[in-house]
Chain A
Amino acid sequence: MPFETLLASCLAYVVLMFGVAFAADRAAARGHVRWLDHPLVYTLSLSVYCSAWTFYGAVGYASRSGLEFLTIYLGPTIVFTGAWWGLRRLVRVARMHHVTSVADLISARFGKSNRLAGLVTLIAVIASTPYIALQLQSVSLSFEVFATDTPYGPTLNGNTLGGTALWVAAGLALFTILFGTRNLAADERHHGVVTAIALEAVVKLVAFLTLGVFVVWWLADGPADILDRIAAAAAEPQNAEGWALRADRWTALNIVSAAAILTLPRMFQVMVVEAADEERLNTAGWAFPAYLFAMSLFVLPIAVMGRELLPAAANPDLYMLTLPASQGQNWLALLVFLGGFSAATSMVVVCAIAVATMVSNHWLVPVWLALRRPQGGEDADDLRGFVLNARRLAILAVTGAGWLYYHASGGTAALAAMGLVAFAGMAQVLPAMIGGLLWRGANRKGAYAGIGCGAALWIALIFLPSIGVGGDIPLPSGVDPWTFAVFLSLSMNILAFIGVSIFGFPDPVERLQGLSFVSAVEPIRHSRMTRGEGRAEPLLAMARRVWGPEEALRYFRDEAHAQGKTGYLPDLTPRFLTRLERRLGGSIGSATAHAMIDRVAGGVALTVSDLLQVADEAQRAKEETQRLESARAELARTALQLREANDKLTALSVQKDAFLSQISHELRTPMTSVRAFSEILKDPTLTHEERSRFAGIIHDEAGRLTRLLDDLLDLSVLESGRAQLSVTAVNLHDLISRALSAASATRPERSFLIDRDVASEHVGIITDADRLLQVLINVISNARKYCDADRPMLHIRVTRPAEGGTVINIMDNGSGIDSSRQSLIFEKFARLNDPARAGGAGLGLAICREIMAVLGGDIAYLPGLGGAAFRISLPQRPPVELPQAVA
């Protein structure tokens, strides 16, 4: 294929990328983000993990070490099996704090420390520079394959096409600056870049799969044949040795690549920073492993076929290109070239954005602010412009450093080596990151110790040897130096992190942040941070410097509006300050935002007692809630009681009406007789007998009226509780005897058999004897009146229950009272049968009940004993003061 065709298609592809990024940015600016926000775009953007090292290097790696290359993909797959609870949580916390990079995450968690972020940035820069160099080298090498027209790949002897790398680096820097620093968006999202990367991901995948299908079904005879060839290749002695998996190395590689997917700056950028929310991980959770699966499925077949079909001198890292080219498939080779080009460029772009953000936020801006402070004070200059320029400068520096490294090293022999070095370096951040998210006790000193210790070991044992500085560590044979270095650095890292954290005491800001990160709840500012209203204006001025006047004014107006205020100056509530700080942090990093707000708003350093007060406030709020809750329950109870009282009052009102009508009726009957017979008495023709009979009737009726009125008076005195008791000691036997003889006047024609247990009756009781006698007479008279037995009998039993007091049971052998009416008998005017026959007003038992209540006892009907049975219970003594009663 002519080199010009290649160059033209490459340029066309670049133009396409610029166009796509431009279109996506424009669509996003117009608010058309629906398909830009699709989980599929997110998933594809994650494929920036598959850099040129993966694209070309995996085949080389597989041809040297067999299945070991799988670890680079299997580690991330393991991480994604925990996407639901792990990654989603990471994204949620990071979005909550408007985190801009992995360094910012660590810094925000450990008390917004800029120096810690600076340290992480340093590791990222050291790890990324050779890694970017590696991408430039791969593009440059792939160009050379076509340019030099050597079918088996160029040799790695120098800078024959060093210009290519420079052009590529310059082009990528331009792309990154154009689309990566268009705005200082508070949430750091770059729709144009992400969309272009998603498209490149598709190109990568299509190129790889096409070549794979070509190799498996065109060059070989399908999967079974490939498996046979793998087995045959493995049988060769030098392969059998190189391809044999080593468990320790296998484990270390899996750990490191699992760490890389979380901590590599570019992965953190696309996975966490560019994610609008954690919901897209629901799709990416399985789709990204599937992408990796597809990207690695054909690696081993291509490696095996490359070994078979190409001469031994061919560079395995370029089998991807040389294999189709040697078979005369130039268009396939071009497609693969574009795939590799995509892989390299997308990695460089995202890595440059991520590292440049870190460099500008954690190195350049703090230094600039520190330098400006003495001169400017409350300076009014354009911080936004500076931050953007710092970022552009950092992008140029990062890509430039990558190119310089490539130029100076003159190309490294194996692509894979530098990738692993970068992985192992960024893995040193993992313990602090995981610990910070899961363990509230983790603190800044621990993070310093862990990261510092791990990074130092990584530089000494992995990084420097990889660039040829320093010798090998003397290790017993059989110990893999790289595995040893990884395990040593990571375990020292973890030990230092945990050990120092255990013995440290974090400062209050750090503890607040720790709570917020571990519990995934919104951070709270302490109420003491609230300041007077006069200070909102400097904050607005500061925000204007970062975001530009329009954006800042809009934000402040919205916040003021949310507080219910008009104008542009919201009250400086803790909530507002927290939100402002986090949003500023989204542009310039949390540590710088924290420092700036504290400087402008006159921050008060938090103390431990403030922190305890925060806990107190939370506790108080909780108690307040509980108090309200119990007050609510209390109200509900009161309402219920009121309802019951109301029901009772209504019932009483009805009862009162019934009582009045009853009593009118009862009074009217005798009055009518009295009036009628008085009329008759006026008749002069009456005989003396008649006159005396009628006068007798009038007398009787008047007597009945008097009794009725007496009863009513008695009842009202008893009910009102004004009854006077004259309490004395009395023998119950005498009382019962008197009652029996008094009651015998009622229906004297009936002879009752009285059954008494005299021995038990001889008990002394303390009560009002007259009142008790009244009750006894009433009950016995009732029995005499209503007992319908042929041979009426009356049983009287006296018992003294163990709990004290005296119980008198009076039973007859009549038919008793119907169970449905038993509840009525103690009510006023309750007469169960014919009133004429009873001859009473129906107040007797009602009076009895009131008397017993006044005496402190009770009278009850005993059902189920054959006849009518009443139980009179007396307390040991009535509920009145005895001396008073005696006096």
Chain B
Amino acid sequence: MPDRPLFLERASFHRRRLGDAARVLPVLATLLLLLPVWWVPRSVSYAGGAVWFFALWAGLIVAIWALHRALLRAEAATVRASEAAAAQVAPRDGLAGRRPSGEAERGPDAL
């Protein structure tokens, strides 16, 4: 197992935080979906409920779309950054031409 870095540069850090957002989103969606029905079942059972649920749904679709787009961009930025770092390191030190592997980048623990 590769040793994980303790701190990350900007691009990777940004991507990790977006990853955190992707983890929070389902929890948030579940709460918004279930809590109104537990609290005020009568208000969300009819026309008002239709508006609320479809609006929530549309919001979730947009949120997933935006999140995925941002994550893909952040991933591309991370790849670029690590390539740039590798290009910087490689000429100076022949031994350090290794590029960080994707698996190591995916490691969830580093902050």
Q: How far is the CB of B102 from chain A (nearest CB, A)?
A: 12
Q: How far is the CB of A72 from chain B (nearest CB, A)?
A: 12
Q: Within the assembled complex, what's the spacing in Å between the Cα atoms of A246 and B33?
A: 13
Contact between A286 and B25 (Cβ–Cβ < 8 Å)? Answer: no
Contact between A230 and B46 (Cβ–Cβ < 8 Å)? Answer: yes
Q: Within the assembled complex, what's the spacing in Å between the Cα atoms of A754 and B70?
A: 85
Q: Which of A81, A227, A234, A300 has the most CB of B within 10 A?
A: A81
Contacts of B38 in A (CB 8 A): 247, 251
Q: Within the assembled complex, what's the spacing in Å between the Cα atoms of A231 and B25?
A: 32
Contact between A244 and B45 (Cβ–Cβ < 8 Å)? Answer: yes
Contact between B41 and A244 (Cβ–Cβ < 8 Å)? Answer: yes
Contact between A78 and B19 (Cβ–Cβ < 8 Å)? Answer: no
Q: Within the assembled complex, what's the spacing in Å between the Cα atoms of A293 and B58?
A: 8
Q: How far is the CB of B27 from chain A (nearest CB, A)?
A: 9
Interface of A is mostly: helix
Contact between A244 and B33 (Cβ–Cβ < 8 Å)? Answer: no
Contacts of A612 in B (CB 8 A): none
Contact residue among A70, A78, A282, A300 (Cβ-Cβ distance under 8 Å from B30): A78
Whether A218 sits at the interface, judged by CB under 8 Å, is no
Contact between B45 and A245 (Cβ–Cβ < 8 Å)? Answer: yes
Contact between A83 and B64 (Cβ–Cβ < 8 Å)? Answer: yes
Contacts of B25 in A (CB 8 A): 81-82
Contacts of A80 in B (CB 8 A): 64
Contact between B68 and A84 (Cβ–Cβ < 8 Å)? Answer: yes
Whether A501 sits at the interface, judged by CB under 8 Å, is no
Mark out the residues of chain B between 61 and 85 whose CB falls within 8 Å of any chain A CB in the assembled complex: 61-65, 67-68, 71-72
Q: Within the assembled complex, what's the spacing in Å between the Cα atoms of A231 and B49?
A: 10
Q: Within the assembled complex, what's the spacing in Å between the Cα atoms of A250 and B35?
A: 10
Q: Within the assembled complex, what's the spacing in Å between the Cα atoms of A77 and B63?
A: 12
Mark out the residues of chain B between 40 and 66 whose CB falls within 8 Å of any chain A CB in the assembled complex: 41-42, 44-47, 49-51, 53-54, 57-58, 60-65
Contacts of A250 in B (CB 8 A): 34, 37
Whether A645 sits at the interface, judged by CB under 8 Å, is no
Smallest Cβ-Cβ distance to B93: which chain A residue: A636
Mask of A415-454 contacts with B, CB within 8 angstroms, 1/0: 0000000000000000000000000000000000000000
Question: How many positions in chain B have a CB within 8 Å of any CB in the partner chain?
Answer: 37
Interface of B is mostly: helix
Q: Within the assembled complex, what's the spacing in Å between the Cα atoms of A751 and B102?
A: 84
Q: Within the assembled complex, what's the spacing in Å between the Cα atoms of A254 and B37?
A: 12
Smallest Cβ-Cβ distance to A521: which chain B residue: B103
A290-B61, A293-B58 given; A78·B41 CB < 8 A: no
Smallest Cβ-Cβ distance to B96: which chain A residue: A632
Q: Which of B41, B51, B54, B68 has the most CB of A within 10 A?
A: B68
Contact between B61 and A289 (Cβ–Cβ < 8 Å)? Answer: yes
Contacts of B23 in A (CB 8 A): 82, 85
Contact residue among A77, A78, A79, A230 (Cβ-Cβ distance under 8 Å from B50): A230
Whether B1 sits at the interface, judged by CB under 8 Å, is yes
Contact between A227 and B51 (Cβ–Cβ < 8 Å)? Answer: yes
Contact residue among A83, A85, A283 (Cβ-Cβ distance under 8 Å from B19): A85
Q: Within the assembled complex, what's the spacing in Å between the Cα atoms of A228 and B46?
A: 10
> 30 interchain pairs (CB within 8 A)?
A67-B44, A74-B53, A74-B57, A77-B29, A78-B29, A81-B63, A81-B64, A83-B64, A84-B19, A84-B67, A85-B23, A227-B50, A230-B46, A230-B47, A231-B47, A234-B45, A244-B45, A245-B41, A245-B49, A254-B34, A282-B68, A282-B71, A286-B64, A286-B65, A289-B64, A290-B61, A293-B57, A293-B61, A618-B1, A622-B1
5 extra interface residue pairs, beta carbon distance < 8 Å, beyond A84-B71, A250-B37:
A82-B23, A234-B45, A243-B46, A286-B68, A289-B61
